[in-house]
Structure 1
Amino acid sequence: MAAIRLLSFLDAGPLAYFTPLGAMALFGAAHFSGYVKPYAFPLLALFISDLVLSFTVFAEFRTGLLYSGWYWTYLAFALMTVAGKLMLKEVTISRLIAATITATLIHWLVSDIGACAVENKLTFAFYLNRLVTAIPYELNFLGGTAFFSAIMFGIFELAQRKYASLKPAR
């Protein structure tokens, strides 16, 4: 999954941000129990891809191990997982659609606050400008989250029908 994120940034063309990471946050939230596994699933993939990106594509923005402001992106994914935990206690298509939209909004709002903070320009006008500029990327993020959620949740649903051991205990 981290490789798909890397591929989306190599060209940074029309598929930039069309990645499975949002879907991973939602899937982990819906199907992993405990306090570590649901968060580790997307954050580990994000970290692996960030390490590679920080030393290649985004080397000029690296401050230390990762790019500046990385913690805002990680916070966004942790919050997406929290939202998924709350919204996907029972997985239905309508709940998954709502969670996908919510995850995208969280990514959009939190990541852009982080970008403003990193640039030391925390004004409403600058934040609003960042939000507008990010719309094409967030639409790709929404598309990637929806596409990969359909795949992950769909395959898991089919697997649950075939293998009783995957069905949740009731």
Structure 2
Amino acid sequence: MENKPNYRTPILLLFMLLIIGLRVVAPLSPDFKVIANFSGIGAVALFGGAYFKGKLNAFLLPVLLLFASDLGLVLTMGVDYGFYTGWYYTYIAFILMVLVAYVVIKKVNVQNVVIASLIGVFIHWIISDFGVWYGSTLYPQTLAGFWVCLDAAIPFERNFLYGTLGYAALMFGVFEALKAKYPVLAKKDIVRS
């Protein structure tokens, strides 16, 4: 039996690293406030959840890349950009986004990626803004206060949705095109029970 090298995992990681790298340098742009939250981090969660066959890789690698990008943000922009108050709620939302992709994207197609993106961004909005609201002095600790917090986050979450959809289209589209051209990349495709 011939032992062929596995190029798939390094290529998947390279895609994710490129998008994560953009997240780290984006705040250095003078127009950053205009594109705040127009990030590919949601697409990275979906991409990892969809393409990594094993649960360990599907969840661990995207979370490690998120952590690495947060460290990069701390080094370039300061601690408030990487590990702000309630940052762990964002990690919970991110893990749930990976889970959404792992469950929803059994077959990579436009419909499944869009559905996973919409569900994932909705989860991100609720969970991450719960972290902003909970214990906050900015918002009353009531259901109405939580609603006000969610409402205030809509412009940021809209950018996050656009970023997730745009980067997902780019990442999934390019990788699927590469799979068609180089069948060795399709070897360990999504086959889960």
TM-score by length of 2: 0.78
Alignment of 1:19-168 (within 5 A): 19-54=39-74, 57-59=77-79, 61=80, 66-119=83-136, 122-167=141-186, 168=189
Note the C-alpha offset of 1:118: 4.4
Separation in structure 1 between the aligned mates of residue 26 and residue 124 of structure 2, nearest angstrom: 17
- Asked whether the 8 Å contact 2:100–2:116 carries over to 1, the reply is yes
Separation in structure 1 between the aligned mates of residue 135 and residue 124 of structure 2, nearest angstrom: 16
Q: 1:127 to 1:58 in 2, by over 3 A?
A: farther
Structure 2's unaligned 5+ residue stretches are: 1-18
Separation in structure 2 between the aligned mates of residue 78 and residue 67 of structure 1, nearest angstrom: 18
DSSP 3-state at the match of 2:92: helix
Paired amino acid for 1:50: D
The percent identity for this pair of structures is 37
- Asked whether the 8 Å contact 1:83–1:102 carries over to 2, the reply is yes
Query: What are the superposed Cα offsets for residues 76-107 of structure 1, whole Å, 9 maximum, x if unpaired?
Result: 00000111111101111111111111111011
Q: Which has the larger radius of gyration?
A: 2
- Asked whether the 8 Å contact 2:52–2:190 carries over to 1, the reply is no
How many residue pairs end up in the alignment? 167
- Asked whether the 8 Å contact 2:51–2:190 carries over to 1, the reply is no
Q: 1:52 to 1:158 in 2, by over 3 A?
A: closer
Query: What are the superposed Cα offsets for residues 109-146 of structure 1, whole Å, 9 maximum, x if unpaired?
Result: 00011111242754211111111111111111011111
Separation in structure 2 between the aligned mates of residue 46 and residue 144 of structure 1, nearest angstrom: 15
Query: What are the superposed Cα offsets for residues 52-95 of structure 1, whole Å, 9 maximum, x if unpaired?
Result: 33455453x48xx9322121010000000111111101111111
State the Cα RMSD in Å.
2.2
Paired amino acid for 2:151: V
Separation in structure 2 between the aligned mates of residue 76 and residue 46 of structure 1, nearest angstrom: 12
Paired amino acid for 2:183: A
Note the C-alpha offset of 1:40: 2.6
Note the C-alpha offset of 1:169: 7.8
